[in-house]
Amino acid sequence: MKNLFVFALALFLSFSASSQILKPVKWSYAAKKTSKTEAILYLKATIEDRWHIYSQNMADGGPVKTSFSFVPSKTYKLSGKTVEPKAITKFEKSFEMNVSYFEKSVIFQQKIKLTGAKALVKGTLEFMVCDDQQCLPPETVEFSIPVS
């Protein structure tokens, strides 16, 4: 009976702990053809209040910057670098440097040249999210964006 109680308590605590996992950033994706041979990929981060993610354009020695990695394919080629809007830049004591970041939401854009029919752009993105008291460990997210 005691073992059953301990098991039930452990199960309850594991459910409680898992409900405490913070996920303050949600990612969504879209693609828009701009011509028969070109398209733009949109990678959008929706960020909960009081949290922020970092720019791709950060000096070394600070937080983990947002980065994108695209799986090579015969159906598309990257055209230039992934672009982002103007970031907020402030000095952060915790990193002892100026950092550039985004709040609320940000849309990163990547132009591609279509070289085949029905392109499916796959890849990963890495980002770190912080608020004014804590940073969560860097996270890697896989994505798959159909271009039609």
Residue 127 lies in a domain: yes
The CATH code of the domain that includes 43 is 2.60.40.1250
Residue 77 lies in a domain: yes
Residue 13 lies in a domain: no
Q: Which domain holds residue 128?
A: 24-147
Q: pLDDT tens digit string along 83-131? A: 999 999 999 988 899 999 999 999 999 999 999 889 999 999 999 999 9
Residue 47 lies in a domain: yes
Residue from 25, 56, 26, 30 nearest 42 by CA: 30
Residue 116 lies in a domain: yes
Residue from 118, 107, 122 nearest 33 by CA: 118
Residue 125 lies in a domain: yes
Domain count, the chain: 1
Does residue 12 carry a pLDDT above 90? no
Q: pLDDT tens digit string along 54-88? A: 999 998 899 999 999 999 999 999 999 999 999 99
Tell me what pLDDT residue 121 has: 98
Residue 1 lies in a domain: no
